[in-house]
Structure 1
């Protein structure tokens, strides 16, 4: 079985009920569900939640809720890995073994079915444990600064102060959209940020973390621009 797991707990301190808040006219989780269904890869697209309202919204948009997530895995300190591991284990216990599972964030409206398909192919062909979305930092991290309490500036990497920006090695970060992995890697708690993984590069204009109201507003503007056909690469 190829399983899509969309974690969506009910609690959210910074943006209340953000997993089902309307984004571009639909609950934001609907965008992730639609991308997973459109990929045509998954035997099951499920949402892992402890919240009945989120479960109802998810089912309305085509996802399955094979079980409700236990409260012990629904607090602010529970990581994504634990949620996916529990979903894979549940299917195993119900005679539905999983070969590969993909975690797709509920607040990833820029995720695309094509990216999910290409990343899956990369996972299978590489034999790695994970393939997940990454994007490049827009500014060289070697030029990062720190500020003291009085506002004084200090270079975090003073050895690069005189290096031309074009000569600095590009740096990448987790794009926060999707994480493909083998069932064994999820069950064994294999480290994600390790040589066991490969990155799937996304352009920065299709990546936006959504943790604050400012993030949300920026994402909506970007989504509208992309919907007009701009920046489609």
Structure 2
């Protein structure tokens, strides 16, 4: 059964690393526009909205045709505010207005290079496997694999995994992944009842090899421009 999924684009003001980041122009377009353009082409999102406390961001979003049904409370727009609180606030807003969703797909503007094809593929995998959640990930390079990572304990190095001996060959390392920040999909019941973005059954979609940047610093912004102008990024559409 197809689920009703809310697409949520969070874009607060007050970025310290890159002032005005979410509406700063990348290739002549506000950063959040890349995420909005991908989301609106997805046929599997019931509704797509922006959550922000910043009036300038809200005005830019509305001009782009992105729905902004409420202004996010200031207390949910601080550096330390967990994403789950922003999501729950949106779900509760819609519930109070008679609209409920089966799941939420969080789409952060800081990972602009995602396609509608990727969004749809993630949603389909999420639904077909009845996961509590699904996140997009990338493979950790061998040199950073947790089985090859050390922690300092009392002046000595110990394997971070707690193992006594190191895996000697790269070919023997199990695959490890890190979150790329592009897509988080979570069942509403897990968000509201377990207060969790993940639940017990977390699926994943591997985006290794696709153009990628998660923008947090000026160097990240430069990498985004490099990807954009090099032609590595080509927007895909369709299913």
Q: Same fold (TM over 0.5)?
A: yes
Change (3 A) 1:44 1:193: closer
- What is the CA distance between 1:97 and its match in structure 2? 1.2
Change (3 A) 1:64 1:228: closer
- Contact residue 133 and residue 177 of structure 1 kept, 8 A: yes
Instruction: Determine which of 119, 124, 145 is the counterpart of 2:127.
Output: 124
- What is the CA distance between 1:53 and its match in structure 2? 0.6
- Contact residue 143 and residue 160 of structure 1 kept, 8 A: no
Give the TM-score normalised by structure 2. 0.85
Give the TM-score normalised by structure 1. 0.87
Instruction: Determine which of 160, 182, 186 is the counterpart of 1:181.
Output: 186
- Contact residue 84 and residue 196 of structure 2 kept, 8 A: no
- What is the CA distance between 1:119 and its match in structure 2? 0.9
Partner of 2:142, secondary structure, is coil
- Could you say which residue in structure 2 is the equivalent of 1:112? 115
Alpha-carbon displacement from aligned partner over 1:110-148 (angstroms, at most 9, x marks no partner): 111111111111111111111111111123423335699
Change (3 A) 1:170 1:70: same
- Contact residue 130 and residue 180 of structure 1 kept, 8 A: yes
Determine the C-alpha separation between the residues in 2 that align with 1:228 and 1:86: 33
- Confirm or deny that 1:166 pairs with 2:171: yes
Determine the C-alpha separation between the residues in 2 that align with 1:13 and 1:47: 20
- What is the CA distance between 1:45 and its match in structure 2? 1.2
Change (3 A) 1:160 1:60: farther
- Count of residues in correspondence between the two structures: 226
Gaps of 5+ in 2: 235-239
Aligned ranges for residues 76-115 of structure 1 at < 5 Å?
76-115=79-118
Alpha-carbon displacement from aligned partner over 1:58-106 (angstroms, at most 9, x marks no partner): 1122210000001111111111111111101110110011122211001
Determine the C-alpha separation between the residues in 1 that align with 2:69 and 2:214: 28
- What is the CA distance between 1:193 and its match in structure 2? 4.7
After alignment, is 29-38 or 181-190 more displaced?
181-190
Determine the C-alpha separation between the residues in 2 that align with 1:23 and 1:117: 25
Determine the C-alpha separation between the residues in 1 that align with 2:77 and 2:151: 35
- After superposition, the CA RMSD in angstroms is 2.3
Change (3 A) 1:171 1:209: same
Determine the C-alpha separation between the residues in 2 that align with 1:91 and 1:228: 35
Gaps of 5+ in 1: none
